[in-house]
Chains A and B, each alone.
Chain A
Amino acid sequence: MIEVRQLRKSFGPQLILEDMDLRIENGESAVIIGRSGGGKSVLLKHIIGLLQPDAGEVFVDGENITHMSERQLLRVRSKFGMVFQGAALFDSMTVAENVAFPLERKHQFTPGEIAKRVAGVLELVDLPGTEKKKPAELSGGMRKRVGLARAIVYEPQILLYDEPTTGLDPIVSDSIDKLIIRVRDHLKVTSIVVTHDMRSARRVGNHVLMLHEKRIYANCTPEKLFASTDPVVRQFVDGVADE
C-alpha cells in the first residue's frame, strides 16, 4: 500500500504540490491525470523516493520513506519498477544488457538464469529477438517496451509508469495500453500510471486521480470521471483550452 500525507513540494519559488493526500491499495491500478507541468511526474518521483518532499510524508507498505537515506531507499526501491517517459535506457548497453542489469546487480542469478529471464520478459513485451540491438536502433514504442521489460524482470510488487504513451502514434499507444493491462494481470502488481492521454486513462485504470491546482481534485472510477459534470473535470476530459 502507498500512502502520501500532506505532501508539499516546490522548486525555487514555484509551488508544485500542496497538502496532497493520496492512498493506493495493493493490487490497485491507479491512473494520475492532470495538465502538463501540474506535478504528476513529481508526485510519482516522491512515491519511489527519487525526490524528497519539503513537507509531508510518504509511506510504502506502512514504512515511512520520507527521511530515509539513499542507501536505505535502495531496499525500498527493490519493490518498485519504473517506466520512464523517455524510457531512460542505458545507451551504452544492448537491449539484453539493459534488461539483465537489475538481475546482474543482485548477484543472485547464474548467467543462464539471467539469459532465460531476459528472453522471457522480452517475449512478454512482444520484442523477442531484439537482445543484441542498441537502444539507438529502436523506435519510441520499442524503447518503452524495453523499459517495461527492464522494470518487470525482477518481479517488483509496484509498477510506476511515467507517461507511457506520450509521443507515440495511436496504434502504438494502444499496444502499450494493452501491454500495461497484460503485465498487471500477469504479474498481479500494483500499477500507477501518470498520463494525460484520456483513452489510456479510461482503459488502464480502475481508479483515476485528477491533479488540479497542486492537489488531488478528483478521486473516482474512470466511469464516474468521464460522466462527471464538474466544469474543471469536463474541461480536462474534453480537452478544451481556457478562453
Chain B
Amino acid sequence: MNFLARTWVGEWLTGLGRLAVLTRDTVASCLTFKASRRDLLYQIYFIGIKSQAVVLVTGAFTGMVLTAQTYFQFHKVKMDTATLAVVGVSMCDELGPVLTALMVAGRVGAAIAAEIGTMRVTEQIDALRTLATHPIDYLVVPRLLASMIALPLLTIESIVLGIGSGYFVGTQLMGIDPTYLYFNMLKYTGDIDVVFGLVKSFVYGGIIALIGCYKGMTCGMGAEGVGRATTEAVVFSSITILITNFFLTLLLQRLYVLFWLS
C-alpha cells in the first residue's frame, strides 16, 4: 500500500513538474511571437465559433432553471423581484465562467488531447521536430492563445443568454413585474462581477489548453494511450477548473477589497 501510494504521489508530482515546464516554455514562446497568425485564427475558429451551440444552450438553460428555483424560494418570503439579481450575480461570478469552461473542456480539451496524442503516436510530432519546428511553437502556443481569447467571449455570451432567458422565465412564466425585476438585477449586479467572470474565464482558457496539450504530448502509445489521454484531459481540466474557481474567487475578492474599495 505504501509502495502504491509512493508511486502514485511520485507520478503525480512528476506530471505536475512536467506541466510546469510546458507552461514555462509556452509562455517563453508566446513572448517571442513564434506562432503563426493563420494557425491562431484557425484555433480561435475551432475553439470559439464551433463551441457556440453547446455554450449557448448551457447558458440559456442554466439561467432558466436558476430563475425558476430562485423564484420558488423567494416567492415564499415575498422577494420575487430580487430573483434576477441572484441570477445576474451568479451567472457573472460563477455559473457563466465555470459552466462555459466545463463545456469547453469537454469539447475542446478532449479534441486537443486526441489530436496531439494521435500526432504523437504516428510520429508526426517527431516529424515536426526534424523539420526544425518546435512543437510548442506550432501546437501549444496557438491553442493556448486561442483558448484564452475565445473563452472570455464565450463566457460573455453565456452570461447574456443566461440573464436574458432568466428574465424571460421570470416575466413570462412566473409573472414577476418586469420593471422591478430588471431594476433589481442592475442594482445588485455590478461591473466588478462581470470583470471577475472574465478574469476567471481567461484563466480557465489557459487551463483547458495547457492540460489538453500536455496530455496529448505525453500520451501512451497506441489507441488505448490516446483514449486515456483524452479522458484524462477532460477529467483533470474539469477538476482543476473547479478547484481553481474556489481559490480564484477568494483571491479576486481580496484584491477587490484591497485595491478597489480602498
Contact = CB atoms under 8 A, between A and B. Distances in A.
B126 A77 contact: no
A101 B130 contact: no
B79 interface: no
Contacts of B131: 77, 101-102, 105, 150
A75 interface: yes
Contacts of A102: 131-133
Interface in A183-230: none
B132 A77 contact: yes
A88 B133 contact: no
A105 B132 contact: yes
A78 B132 contact: yes
Contact of A81 (B119, B123, B130, B133): B130
B127 interface: yes
Pick the most buried of B119, B124, B127, B129: most chain A CB atoms within 10 A of its CB.
B127
A70 B24 CA distance: 14
A15 B231 CA distance: 32
A82 B130 CA distance: 7
Given A70-B134, A71-B134, A77 B129 contact: yes
A45 B127 CA distance: 11
B129 A88 contact: no
B7 interface: no
Contacts of B132: 74-75, 77-78, 102, 105
B127 A90 contact: yes
Nearest to A50: B126
B133 A84 contact: no
Nearest to B129: A50
B175 to A, nearest CB: 53
Contact of A48 (B122, B124, B130): B130
A90 B139 CA distance: 12
Given A86-B122, A88-B122, A74 B133 contact: yes
Contacts of A78: 132
A80 interface: yes
A71 B32 CA distance: 13
Interface string A76-104: 01101110111011110000000001100
B127 A82 contact: yes
Nearest to A90: B124
A232 to B, nearest CB: 30
A88 B127 contact: yes
Contacts of B123: 84-86, 88
B34 to A, nearest CB: 10
Nearest to A107: B36
Contact of B130 (A50, A70, A86, A89): A50
Contact of A80 (B119, B130, B133, B134): B130
Interface of A: 45, 48, 50, 70-71, 73-75, 77-78, 80-82, 84-86, 88-91, 101-102, 105, 150-151
10 contacts: A50-B126, A50-B129, A74-B133, A77-B132, A78-B132, A88-B123, A90-B124, A102-B132, A102-B133, A151-B130
Interface of B: 119, 122-124, 126-127, 129-134
Sort A-B residue pairs by CB-CB distance and give the 6 closest, nearest first.
A88-B127, A88-B123, A82-B130, A78-B132, A102-B131, A74-B132
